[in-house]
Amino acid sequence: MLPRLALPPSRAVLAVLGLAFVAPGLVGHDPWRAFDVIAIEIANQMHLSGDWTVPRLAGQPWLDDPPLFYWLELAFGKAFGWLLGFHNAARLASGLAMLTALWFIYLAARHSALPISTAGRFSETDLPVRRGDGAAGMLLLIGSLGLIVHAHEAVSDLAALAAACAAFAFLMTPGANPFKTGAAFGAALGIAFLSTGIVVPAVLGGSALVGCLVCDEWRTPRAPRFLGAALLAFALLALSWPLALWLRSPELAQSWWYAATHARDEFIPNLRYYLTTASWFAWPAWPLAAWAAWALRREWRTPRVFVPLAATLLGLLAIAWAGPQQDINTMVLLPPLALLGAHGVARLRRGAANMLDWFGVMTFGFFVFLIWLGYVSMLSGQPPKIAKYFAKTAPGFVAQFDALAFGAALALTLAWLYLAFFTAPSPTRGVARWAAGLVLLWGTFATLWLPWADHLKSYRSVALQLKSTLPANAGCISESELAAPQRAALSYHAGILTEPFRAPLPAAKGAGPAPGCRFLIVQGHPREERTPGPGWRKLADVGRPGDRDERYRLYRYGG
């Protein structure tokens, strides 16, 4: 019999679990659609142009987010691009941000585990509770379903997530110098602002301010010094890039500020969307946080209950106001929910804890079995029905055995089996097994199925086919209905820079005005083709393997 793993996990075990979650899938595949390819293309444009002030996508200004995360991507791309390829190296910035978030949420949950004593310190008898809550906070963040893919993409929200976790860690630090912790808290908010904009700093800054007014422990002479230092540090960091952008181009600065301070979509539909999305995105952190808020309701004015609860409510209102309806915006709710939920783990009733425990074991065990079955089917062709499915969804893909990927997936599976069957009873066992199951699910997918997924999701073949059709002296290229991720992919893989088709597409039977660009790329559906009109000749009609929703058609005007 193997020795049982003691719980709560030690720092070493947590570190291994964090690395096992973060590392798989960061490298080894092309940029994928949506956030990943957009962020990598922006960093690549900085690399090609040397312009760090104005983020650009396919040559056009992109002011949806400030550029801090893109700078970090660029630094990794320059440092390791020669070894891994630029996109793989740039994606290491996401790994660093995610590991930073896990470390700081561990510290935040550990610091806020117990009320502050009169001396401003914890006693040695409090250490087991602090260790358990610290581990639970980190495990809940790892186990959040919404992070399973986004944690391995190049997305600036990960930098904001790391900054938010750091802000909570500094906010919950007891008995510390208010100027130092305040400055560190403000710097974390400044980093969040330079990563994604105003939402995260507004939510956490507002929570800290209200906490200093409501919580008796914080309503002391330390509070004004803490808040003043935080405001100064935040202002120094947050104003740096907007000022540089304004000095560079007042028009671009005004466009960015308008986009950053105006809502997208309507509040009520956004609120409904985010309530629904958070129900799975923040699972299982949100039910544990709700239980903690109820179990500690008599302590609602303590910082460990009030502040994360206030941050959750303010965060929900903020993303519902700001919009748009994208699940990744729900990430702002994860740190406060994980922090509050950590206090609910030890207080969970035995029946509920066992249900979460075995539900996670059975669910993840079932899906990982399917991943292994699919992998064997891709290699051997057995069972035939499953092999036929993979062949149908990814035409042209040929699976090859990779000893390193197979060994990594096998090691993850054996480690999960050990954790599932050789862990000592503990309040943290349910969340530990859940987090380990999610790590196993993503790890086996990212090692065994990654080549198949990359064959489906990569736009490299589309970009290269279009480039091979274009003449060397093509000149400007216009686009119609081409979404931002596709524009980014064409630019990154093939250097195809497009500009909007300025005149409306002429009717099918009518002659339209002569276009400014002789070449036009139109994104559309495979069964629906809208021809630009007389004078346009189709040169290419391409799409990703197995993609039934998108086609990319290249037209040329005239002879």
Per-residue pLDDT tens over the stretch 445-475:
999 999 999 998 899 999 999 999 988 887 8
Domain-ending residue, one of 438, 457, 476: 457
What's CA 533's distance to the chain center, in Å?
A: 42
Domain membership flag for residue 4: no
Residues near 328 by beta carbon (within 8 Å), at least 6 away in sequence: 35, 146, 150, 155, 157
DSSP string, 351-408: HHHHHHHHHHHHHHHHHHHHHHHHHHHHHH--SHHHHHHHHHHSTT------HHHHHH
Buried b (16+ CB within 10 A) or exposed e, 361-395: beebbeebeebeebbbbbeeeeeeebbeebbeebe
CB-based contact 260:197 (threshold 8 Å): yes
Residue 295 CB neighbour total at 10 angstroms? 16
339 and 356: one domain?
Answer: no
Domain membership flag for residue 124: yes
CB-based contact 318:233 (threshold 8 Å): no
Domain membership flag for residue 5: no
d(CA 491, CA 367): 37
d(CA 373, CA 381): 11
Q: Which residue has the tokens 């495990």?
A: 139
Paired strand residues for 557: 536
SS3 552: strand
Domain membership flag for residue 3: no
State what percent of residues in the chain have pLDDT above 70.
93
Per the structure block, which two tokens stand in for 433? Answer: 């097994």
Domain-ending residue, one of 297, 326, 345: 345
State what percent of residues in the chain have pLDDT above 90.
58
Domain membership flag for residue 507: yes
pLDDT tens digits for 182-199? 999 999 999 999 999 999
302 and 358: one domain?
Answer: no
What single-letter amino acid sits at 164?
A
496 and 541: one domain?
Answer: yes
What's CA 466's distance to the chain center, in Å?
A: 30
Reported pTM? 0.92
Domain membership flag for residue 320: yes
237 and 110: one domain?
Answer: yes
Paired strand residues for 537: 556
Domain-ending residue, one of 345, 378, 411: 345
542 and 408: one domain?
Answer: no
127 and 268: one domain?
Answer: yes
| Alpha helices (H) along 112-266 | 127-142, 147-150, 157-171, 178-196, 199-214, 222-238, 240-248, 250-261
pLDDT at 130: 61
Mean pLDDT of 340-348: 88
First to last CA, the chain: 78
Q: Estimate the crossing angle of helix 240-248 against helix 222-238, to 10 degrees.
A: 30
pLDDT at 336: 96
pLDDT tens digits for 353-400? 888 888 888 999 999 999 999 999 999 888 889 988 888 888 888 889
Residue 537 CB neighbour total at 10 angstroms? 12
- Mean of the per-residue pLDDT values for the chain? 88
494 and 527: one domain?
Answer: yes
Write out the residue range of the structural domain in which residue 385 sits.
350-457
CB-based contact 128:113 (threshold 8 Å): no
d(CA 400, CA 340): 45
Residue 538 is classified by DSSP as E
Q: Which residue has the tokens 């302590």?
A: 299
d(CA 294, CA 299): 10
Q: Which residue has the tokens 């609602």?
A: 300
242 and 113: one domain?
Answer: yes
d(CA 47, CA 68): 14
Residue 122 has pLDDT above 60, yes or no: no
Total number of domains constituting the chain: 3
Residue 250 CB neighbour total at 10 angstroms? 10
258 and 337: one domain?
Answer: yes
Domain membership flag for residue 24: yes
354 and 322: one domain?
Answer: no
CB-based contact 265:323 (threshold 8 Å): yes
| Structure confidence at residue 311 as a pLDDT band (50, 70, 90) | very high
Domain membership flag for residue 6: no
229 and 325: one domain?
Answer: yes
393 and 311: one domain?
Answer: no
pLDDT at 529: 80
